[in-house]
Chain A
């Protein structure tokens, strides 16, 4: 008979008889979980990406020191990519008698392609988004330019040969670069059509040209691939990954969290599938022996089970994909309004991905043991003790490992994360296995002291060590997932959100003169604002490394060129800030006062090719000084606190002209405070980072919500593993309970010993799970999310309590009917 058809028939019969429930459920859940995560992450990812592209003004940007070649624009237009142009350069701006250096930016009609500029109609007034850029003849200027020039909105300014009217205060622009925050020159944005009239752009001018591009992801991608190799020196293609470290960090973390959730869910479901397959095999041994006795060839039995499993995989995966789709639909209903943007519809890829995941999970975790069924000795029909199939352990574990690896590679977008999860899970299973064995040993030495029911239940754990270890590993994996989610995850997310507390600094003051410090402090006190910390800042240019002169031409790296071509902000500090961490070398102490030492941020060191011990020579205010690098630091740039690439110990830089910088939180409704501040200290410059801060915070919030939702599936998968672990030994328990009852065990005794056994198993696996979860939490926090995590007592207590109560309850409820079963029925083998 056709094995494919027979497989379908056997699937139907087994399903009806309830033989496949756990297996099918675990598989469906695995696929539902992955699909919902994939459907959802794809959509959220697209939305996040397009929102992040708002920060770039487009999907891709060509930055160049020369006008963008016409061929480039033509090709982009051919591919259906929309274009906008900006031209940036510094220039003096005049208003009446006063002049000020401004960072000019001329923008074309189509600007910006993504996102909005935000403008206000008066200095420090609340701002609002606006489509497009300034119309011809008008300019939008940064608030600082107005204060410096002593004018208000509506006044006219002279830019080169052109006279233009100030139309609004520019609060933020979608494509503002990082550097702009600390650029000393305030922004003036004008229409590109007015640029020729200014006569400012001459062949030798220091002009930065940017071509913003936006369009279909595929078109942008192919355009990027096509042009990347053809870029000329001085040209650079930038996408959102290259721009804005704060946003990039937030996006990366979000992706990693989601990727981790999806991965862990699949692997958990894999474990559930493996456990369910184990039970399926033990229940089908007799069937196989009978079929062989009735004349079925080994090859036929193999084909039969293979086809049954393929059908199961296909149907369960399809159902899983459907459920996954519905689940992500529910999510969109909940999160849609929060997202603020229409989520793009999901594509077909998650469907294929889900089906693939289902088949791989089934083949990897269930098929090898099931295919060994065909090897059952036929003699088992006469002698039941025969035909315990010797599982081919190498094959079974090998395939499961292979499947795990494929799933990890399919699902993880990040190699580090994939490696950590893969090897981490292997280690955890080993660790759980070892811990379980160890705890079993301990248990055996303890068990003699307890009363009957207790002793019996505890003895049960020790009496079948192999099954107990398998169950404990199963419970342990499930509990660990729950603990990771319940405790570690919320700690990690809190830690991440804690990076940007509600009162994170949203205003920077720069250019505070040393003699103004007492008065500024007094001003803060008078306004009832807690005095912030003031950081000294010395502007200096890097002129030599290890005695060898350097300039812009010495470096190929774009960032290095920028850093060398302008002045660095150096600072000194006696203590290391909390958002800084020494990577190598050491921080200084009081005895090092005045030493010619420097601490350099690791990213800068990499870009400039600096190493520990290198000597840097700076020129500041006409004076030169040299100092050696004694430490490299990492800096959390997303903390929104003032930070410096290069720090010196106190006593080295004090003789150079310095100004001070500070950052503080000002509630938006109190913006008039800034007017008073500027009036009292006209030289001080106020930088407003509230808009950027809000953007990053919105992304964090959204990602956190998404992660919370996705983790629901991981929790379900964890529960599924535990469910499968309970069912894995059900048949043996039923048989055993029947024997015990015929031997005179009372119902209460049996039930009591079941409770004790499961509570004991749960307690032990909870302990093992807490240890594993703690280790995983620390490693994942450090390696993947660059956050610090210290496992607290909640984890240990939670683990043991969750294990004892959860497993105790679930196990007892799941097997309770065992004690109600009439013993004869069981023993007769019905």
Chain B
């Protein structure tokens, strides 16, 4: 149980801008145990989303390393990181990021299909049933409410049984009541499946439900609570 699934060492991210070099992240070190739930918090522009992007291998750092389940993320090429994500990582986004041209079922099937699973439809149906959308399989995203869309996104994230789940402001686009239900669902599934959850949020209530909080300030990790 107490195995490290996600670790970062001396992670830096700098970008060039009109005013010269801008440091987004500096010297980030962290280690997250399997099954943990961790919230990354901080003010706007503190570098939360940048850190999430790097931890998930969606972006490349200026320096430092990230290990996902023991694999050095940036020793892999772009496609290698994609393969790693396919096998071990799930995502939930603030803007849901459902494919508008696919039905709810097809959206959930997508990562399973990408992984070459033959039982994609059955699996996806099962997960959608679990998130309470068993009757809305053939609906397109635009026919669903915001909360329903985020449930589809959660179903998509859990469909491949990932070791690690990243969530970027999962309640940011939802009202409080719906947001609370979504958080419940996220934590229920997390507990059921033993997934490690790393989420970025403004929401103190949400952060409070996590085992740990990592607070970012001007690109540096201030404290662990």
Q: Select which of B84, B96, B113, B141 is within 8 A of A6 by beta carbon.
A: B113
Residues of B contacting A293 with CB < 8 Å? 56, 58, 85, 91, 97
A292 to B85, CA, bound (A): 9
Within 8 A of B (CB), among A277-300: 286-287, 289-300
Distance from A735 Cβ to chain B, minimum over Cβ atoms (Å):
14
Residues A295 and B173 in contact in the complex (CB < 8 Å), given A379-B59, A381-B93: no
Min CB gap B224→A, angstroms: 23
Interchain CB contact (< 8 A) of B85 among A16, A294, A300, A382: A294
Assess whether B102 is in contact with A13, with CB atoms less than 8 Å apart: yes
A821 to chain B, nearest CB (A): 11
Q: Kindly list chain A residues whose C-beta atoms are within 8 Å of the C-beta of B96.
A: 829
Stretch from B62-70, B75-83, B129-137, B209-217 that touches the partner: B75-83
Q: Is B146 in contact with chain A by the CB < 8 A criterion? A: yes
The chain A residue with its CB closest to the CB of B113 is A1
Asked if A298 meets B78 with Cβ closer than 8 Å, knowing A287-B99, A291-B114, the reply is: yes
Tell me how many residues of B have a C-beta within 8 Å of chain A.
39
B101 touches A298 (CB 8 A): no
Are B168 and A382 in contact (CB-based, < 8 A)? Answer: yes
| Beta-carbon contacts under 8 Å, A495-527 to B | none
Q: How far is the CB of B196 from chain A (nearest CB, A)?
A: 17
List B contacts of A383 (CB < 8 A): 49, 53
Cα A292 to Cα B114 in complex, Å, equals 10
Q: Chain B nearest CB: distance from A178 CB in Å? A: 66
- A828 interface residue per 8 A CB criterion: yes
Q: Which residue from A1, A286, A297 sits with its C-beta under 8 Å from B82? A: A297
Task: Tell me, yes or no, whether A494 is within 8 Å of chain B by CB.
Answer: no
A298 to B89, CA, bound (A): 17
Residue contact B53 to A287, C-beta cutoff 8 Å: no
Residues of B within 8 A of A300 (CB): 114
Indicate whether A378 sits within 8 Å of B110 (C-beta atoms), given known contacts A287-B101, A828-B146, A828-B173: no
Q: Assess A294 versus B114: contact at CB under 8 Å? Given A13-B101, A379-B58, A828-B173.
A: yes
Beta-carbon contacts under 8 Å, B93-151 to A: 93, 95-97, 99-102, 106, 110-111, 113-116, 140-142, 146
A382 touches B116 (CB 8 A): no
Q: Are A382's CB and B93's CB within 8 A?
A: yes
Closest residue of chain B to A830 (Cβ to Cβ) is B142
A295 with B86, Cβ < 8 A, contacts A14-B101, A379-B53 known:
yes
B52 at interface by CB-CB < 8 Å? yes
Q: Which residues of A contact B173 (CB under 8 A)?
A: 828
From A17, A382, A830, B58 is in contact (CB under 8 Å) with A382
Total A residues in contact with B, Cβ cutoff 8 Å: 33
Q: How long is the Cα–Cα vector from A9 to B103 in the complex, in angstroms?
A: 13
- Cα(A14)–Cα(B57), bound, Å: 29
Write the chain B residue with the least CB distance to A384.
B95
- Give 1 or 0 for each of B171-197: 1 = CB within 8 Å of chain A CB: 001000000000000000000000000
Closest B residue to A380 using CB positions = B58
CA distance A291 to B107 in the complex (A): 10
A378: which B residues are within 8 A, CB to CB? 57-59, 78, 82
Chain A 342-367, CB-CB to B under 8 Å as 1, else 0, gives 00000000000000000000000000
Q: What is the CB-to-nearest-CB distance from A302 to chain B, in angstroms, rounded to a whole number?
A: 11
Note all chain A residues with C-beta closer than 8 A to B99: 286-287, 290
- CA–CA, A359 and B138, complex, Å: 33
A16-27 interface bits toward B, Cβ cutoff 8 Å, 1 = contact, 0 = none: 110100000000
Among A307-335, those with CB < 8 Å from B are: none
Contact B111 A294 (CB under 8 A): yes
Q: How far is the CA of A574 from the CA of B146 in the complex (A)?
A: 89
Chain B contacts of A298 at CB under 8 A?
Answer: 78-79, 82
Closest to B120 in A: A1
CA distance A14 to B102 in the complex (A): 8
Q: Which residue of the partner chain, among B79, B85, B93, B106, contacts A299 with CB atoms under 8 Å?
A: B79
Minimum distance in angstroms from B58 CB to a CB of chain A: 4
> Closest chain B residue to A17 by CB distance?
B101
B5 interfacial by beta-carbon distance below 8 Å: no
In this complex, which of B93, B110, B173 has the most chain A Cβ atoms within 10 angstroms of its Cβ?
B110
Q: Which residues from B are CB-within-8-Å of A296?
A: 82, 86, 114
- The answer to whether B46 has its CB under 8 Å from any CB of chain A is no
User: Residues of A contacting B49 with CB < 8 Å?
Assistant: 382-383
In the assembly, what is the distance between CA of A9 and CA of B56, in Å? 28
Task: Report if B87 contacts A (CB, 8 A).
Answer: yes
**A17 with B102: CB separation less than 8 A:** yes
Interface pair B53/A382, CB less than 8 Å apart:
yes
Is the Cβ of A290 less than 8 Å from the Cβ of B101?
no
Residues of A within 8 A of B82 (CB): 292, 295-298, 378
Are B93 and A297 closer than 8 Å at their CB atoms?
Answer: no
The residues of B that contact A382 with a CB separation of less than 8 Å are 49, 52-53, 58, 93, 168
Contacts of A287 in B (CB 8 A): 99, 101
Chain A residues within an 8 Å CB radius of B52: 382
**Which residues 249-307 of A sit at the B interface, judged by CB distance below 8 A?**
286-287, 289-300
Give the distance to chain A from B215, nearest Cβ to Cβ, in Å.
20
A9, A290, A295, A830: which contacts B115 (Cβ < 8 A)? Answer: A295
Contact among B57, B79, B97, B142 with A381 in the assembled complex (CB-CB below 8 Å) = B97
How distant is A246 from chain B, measured CB to nearest CB, in Å? Answer: 59
Within the complex, what minimum Cβ distance (angstroms) separates B149 from chain A?
8
Contact A286 B58, beta carbon cutoff 8 Å: no
Closest CB in chain A relative to B62 CB, distance in Å: 14
A1 touches B116 (CB 8 A): yes
With A381-B93, A828-B173 already in contact, the answer to whether A297 and B142 are too (CB < 8 A) is no
In the bound assembly, the distance between CA atoms of A287 and B168 in angstroms comes to: 18
Given A293-B91, A382-B58, verify A17-B97 contact (CB < 8 Å).
no
Complex alpha-carbon distance, A13 and B106, angstroms? 9
Q: Are A291 and B110 in contact (CB under 8 A)?
A: yes
For B58, what are the chain A residues with a Cβ–Cβ distance below 8 Å?
293, 377-379, 381-382
Residues of B within 8 A of A381 (CB): 58, 91, 93, 97
0/1 interface trace, chain B 36-59, chain A, CB 8 Å (1 if under): 000000000000010011001111
In the complex, the answer to whether A295 meets B53 with C-beta atoms within 8 Å is: no
**A285 → B minimal CB distance (Å):** 11
Name the one of A14, A19, A295 contacting B114, with C-beta atoms under 8 angstroms: A295
With both chains docked as a complex, state the minimum distance between the C-beta of A321 and any C-beta of chain B, in angstroms: 27
A17 → B minimal CB distance (Å): 3
Q: Within 8 Å CB of B85, what residues of A?
A: 293-295
Beta-carbon nearest neighbor of B88 in chain A: A295
Docked Cα-Cα span, A377 to B82, in Å, equals 12
Q: How far is the CA of A295 from the CA of B160 in the complex (A)?
A: 11
Task: Decide yes or no: A1 and B91 within 8 Å by CB, A17-B102, A379-B58 being known contacts.
Answer: no
CA distance A16 to B138 in the complex (A): 12
B-chain residues with CB within 8 Å of residue A13 when the two chains form the complex: 101-102, 106
Given contacts A382-B93, A829-B95, A830-B141, is CB(A294)–CB(B101) below 8 Å? no
Which residue of chain A lies nearest to B144 when distances are taken between CB atoms in the complex? Answer: A830
Enumerate chain A residues within 8 angstroms of B106, measured Cβ to Cβ.
13
CB atoms of B86 and A294 under 8 A apart: yes
Residue of A nearest to B168 (CB): A382
Bound CA span A188–B189, Å: 105
Q: How far is the CB of B197 from chain A (nearest CB, A)?
A: 17
Chain B nearest CB from A276 CB (Å) reads 15
Q: How far is the CA of A383 from the CA of B87 in the complex (A)?
A: 23
Smallest beta-carbon distance A416→chain B, Å: 46
- From B56, B86, B113, B140, A17 is in contact (CB under 8 Å) with B140
Which residues of A lie under 8 Å from residue B89 when comparing CB positions? Answer: 295
8 residue pairs A–B, Cβ–Cβ below 8 Å: A13-B101, A17-B140, A295-B84, A377-B59, A378-B58, A383-B53, A384-B95, A828-B146
Known contacts A14-B101, A295-B82, A830-B142; can you find 14 more A-B pairs with CB under 8 A? A1-B113, A1-B114, A6-B113, A16-B101, A17-B140, A287-B101, A290-B97, A294-B111, A298-B82, A381-B58, A382-B52, A383-B49, A383-B53, A825-B142
Which residues of B come within 8 Å of A, CB atoms?
49, 52-53, 56-59, 78-79, 82-87, 89, 91, 93, 95-97, 99-102, 106, 110-111, 113-116, 140-142, 146, 156, 168, 173
